[in-house]
Amino acid sequence: MTRVLKLNIDEHLSRDRAVRPKILDTDIDGAERVLTMLNHLIDINAATEESFRIAMNAFLRRGRFRWMRHQHVTCAADQIEDLLETLIELKSPSDVSIATYNLALEAYAVCSTPRGERDYARRAESLVKRMEQVFEVLPVESYKHVLHAFAWQQANLEEGECARKACELLKLIEQRTEDGLTLMQCYDWTLEVWSKSGSAGSASEAQVLLDKMKTLNLTLSTNDIENGAHLILDADTYCNAILAWAKNSVSTGAVRANDILLEMVDRFNKGEFAPGSEPSLIAFNGVMAAWGRQGRADMAENVLKLMDELRLKCTNLTPDAISYNSVIHAYLRSADKELALQKVSELVKFMEDNYHKQPAIKPNGFTYSTLMKCWIQSDREDVAEQSEATLMRMQRLWDSGDISVQPTNRMFNMVINAYAKGNSRDAARKAVLLLESMKQSELCQPDVVTYTSVIECLSKSTDPQSAEKAEELLSEAFQRYQETKDNTLRPNARTFAMVILTLARTNGSAVKARELLVQLLELYKETNDPDLRPNEYLYNYVLNCAANTIEASKKIVAFQIAAMTYQEMRKSNLVRPDSFTYAFWLKCCNNLIPPGDLRKKCVEYAFEECRKEGLVSKEVLLRLTQGNPPKLVDKLLDFPQNSKASDTKRSAYRRVIKVQDLPRAWSRNVYRK
């Protein structure tokens, strides 16, 4: 019984703190009974410091295990803390031996948790402060336990507070001792804090410690080595140094992490680590991720190859899906998008073909969505179809019971957006079908991005029904939002923009376009929500929609709407006319006003204003020169009025003039943001 528990405890004393401590359900090792006996001795006034120490040691042997006591989870640190306080009360602070205090410090260190909910490190720190007041000088061991507690408690990671505390203690310990074993152990713990800390400079701090360990390792005495000092510098130590660099955002992080990885492999191959200490998956995956962030897929793949070679020599090292995904993601981020697509397709195929032999490399949702992104960023013709095929592949796997490839509405949205960006003839039909299947699905409900992207597909469609469908979808989204109160479904300015764009492109009603703009403005006034703030696009699309009015009977109303919208833009404090505004407004003048004085006046006034604002673009110039009387064009372009140029010369001038030929000031703001 005790033997089995001892083994389990050893396992929990290991450095792997990722595993949550287990909760014991019985008094498996009799520590509770020891406590009962101690309490009995206290009752009869027969408890000595030695009896307390026996009970403390009984709990300390439980390591990180936890158990229930009065409906609360408790652990060795809590129990030993209570026992120490009782003992101090019975005797006096100075009558309790330092060795007994140290048992409590050790318990704090052992029970310290990564997230530090119980704050044992700080409790260790305050106990050591009390000890300093009672005793003249404390042994290094006391400080070592506190350092150990800070090393394993990783709360305040961002601020690096635990790391700083550990460093202060390390400095103190370095001053007090030259014992190789102690120093190696303390360096190793401090290195562990830096590897987990995201604070600035953590990688170089980790590097300093690794270097110190390597130097000290060379100078250790035979005595130290017999006590296991050189065994502390092992694969775990290297892993910590690697991860410190790997997560570092500076561009050299990947290079440094990679160098240390190679050094670790070299040492491992030479048999320099303790038996059973071997390079870990997490070190390799960390380096691959670091290369990926630099877009260095070639290097990430080299690391994967290295890992594949090394696994034969290791008992536990084998690449997993994250390893492959990291390389895949690195290709996604690499510069050559065509190579990326080829490589990623190959790697995914390899995973699919080999996971029966290597279950850890079974492709998951991450794998497929990265493949999908690779298709989307490629220049291939059938991007939308291929990304849809990838999504359907996931859907089939999911339907057959594979829970690791759950499709998400984001992926559906990515496919729909691929259709919106492509030039597939029936993009709109496909997009609407995808929307319908999302509505049927329990997993991937459409949201406002879905609706907006489907409407964007409709805006590119030549189907005369598109505008009607777009309006239907907008009100459907509104209805679903009102039913569910789900904010991700609420239409926003962009959704409105896409509906108006659809109207503009399908010669739809300017009245409707205007109504939508007014509706959005009212919503924005009510809520002041930045997502509903109309921008230049909204107004410009309304102008373009009006300009595209074909039916003669509707042109007057369309012009009124355009004029109103243009005037509003000039006075608005939300938007300012831009070069598109003037181009669309001139288009309105040309298309909606019959030739004559009124049109001439409008064009003249608009162009002069546009020139003053420095917004004369190629399109503005085109709208001016095409469809307006040559005399007016010449006047507005400042063609020398009294020159004796012939009409053909003038006409040629008007045909070839470019924005660049005009005074710079006329177009100084065309590209302003």
206 vs 414 by CB, closer to DNA: 414
Report CA-CA distances (Å) from 641 to 219, 307, 630, 631, 634. 94, 79, 12, 9, 8
Smallest distance from the beta carbon of 88 to DNA, in angstroms? 40
Please identify which residue in 308, 320, 382, 385 interacts with DNA, judged by CB under 7 A.
320
250 vs 652 by CB, closer to DNA: 250
Reduce the DSSP state of residue 668 to 3 states and report it: coil
Binding segment toward DNA, per CB under 7 A, in 138-146, 156-164, 410-418, 647-655? 410-418
Smallest distance from the beta carbon of 660 to DNA, in angstroms? 15
Q: How far is CA 563 from the centre of its chain?
A: 46
Site string for DNA, 266-285 (x = CB under 7 A): ---------------xx--x
Task: Kindly write down the DSSP assignment for every residue of 129-150, as one continuous string.
Answer: HHHHHHSS---HHHHHHHHHHH
Report CA-CA distances (Å) from 296 to 284, 292, 350. 15, 6, 20
77 vs 497 by CB, closer to DNA: 497
Site string for DNA, 83-122 (x = CB under 7 A): ----------------------------------------
Number of Cβ within a 10 Å radius of residue 177: 17
**What is the rounded distance in angstroms from the CA atom of residue 577 to the CA atom of residue 586?**
13
Provide the H-helix boundaries in 112-247.
120-134, 140-152, 161-176, 180-196, 202-219, 222-226, 229-232, 235-246
Q: Which of 456, 561, 585 is nearest to 509 (CA)?
A: 561
Smallest distance from the beta carbon of 289 to DNA, in angstroms? 3
Task: Kindly write down the DSSP assignment for every residue of 96-126, as one continuous string.
Answer: S-HHHHHHHHHHHHHH--TT-TT-HHHHHHH
Smallest distance from the beta carbon of 578 to DNA, in angstroms? 6
**What is the rounded distance in angstroms from the CA atom of residue 627 to the CA atom of residue 607?**
14
Site string for DNA, 325-364 (x = CB under 7 A): xx--x----------------------------------x
Please identify which residue in 91, 600, 619, 650 interacts with DNA, judged by CB under 7 A.
619
**What is the rounded distance in angstroms from the CA atom of residue 389 to the CA atom of residue 419?**
13
145 vs 293 by CB, closer to DNA: 293
- Is residue 587 a contact residue for DNA (CB under 7 A)? yes
535 vs 643 by CB, closer to DNA: 535
- Is residue 449 a contact residue for DNA (CB under 7 A)? yes
Please identify which residue in 100, 450, 509, 591 interacts with DNA, judged by CB under 7 A.
450
- Is residue 240 a contact residue for DNA (CB under 7 A)? no
83 vs 603 by CB, closer to DNA: 603
- Is residue 466 a contact residue for DNA (CB under 7 A)? no
Range 396-405, long-range pairs (CB < 8 A, 24+ positions): 398/443, 404/362, 404/364, 404/365, 405/363, 405/364, 405/365, 405/368
Contact in structure between 489 and 448 (CB atoms under 8 Å): yes
- Is residue 501 a contact residue for DNA (CB under 7 A)? yes
- Is residue 590 a contact residue for DNA (CB under 7 A)? no
In terms of DSSP bridges, do strands 72-75 and 66-69 run parallel, antiparallel, or are they unpaired?
Answer: antiparallel
Please identify which residue in 65, 541, 559, 585 interacts with DNA, judged by CB under 7 A.
541
Please identify which residue in 498, 545, 592, 602 interacts with DNA, judged by CB under 7 A.
498
**What is the rounded distance in angstroms from the CA atom of residue 479 to the CA atom of residue 446?**
13
- Is residue 395 a contact residue for DNA (CB under 7 A)? no
**What is the rounded distance in angstroms from the CA atom of residue 567 to the CA atom of residue 609?**
12
Smallest distance from the beta carbon of 533 to DNA, in angstroms? 11
**What is the rounded distance in angstroms from the CA atom of residue 258 to the CA atom of residue 270?**
19
- Is residue 537 a contact residue for DNA (CB under 7 A)? yes
- Is residue 583 a contact residue for DNA (CB under 7 A)? yes
Q: Please give the structure tokens belonging to residue 230.
A: 């050189």
- Is residue 427 a contact residue for DNA (CB under 7 A)? no
- Is residue 421 a contact residue for DNA (CB under 7 A)? yes
Return residues touching DNA (CB under 7 A): 243, 246-247, 281-282, 285-286, 289, 292-293, 320-323, 325-326, 329, 364-366, 369-370, 373, 408-411, 413-414, 417, 420-421, 447-450, 452-453, 456, 459, 488, 492, 494-495, 497-498, 501, 505, 535-537, 540-541, 544, 578-580, 582-584, 587, 617-620
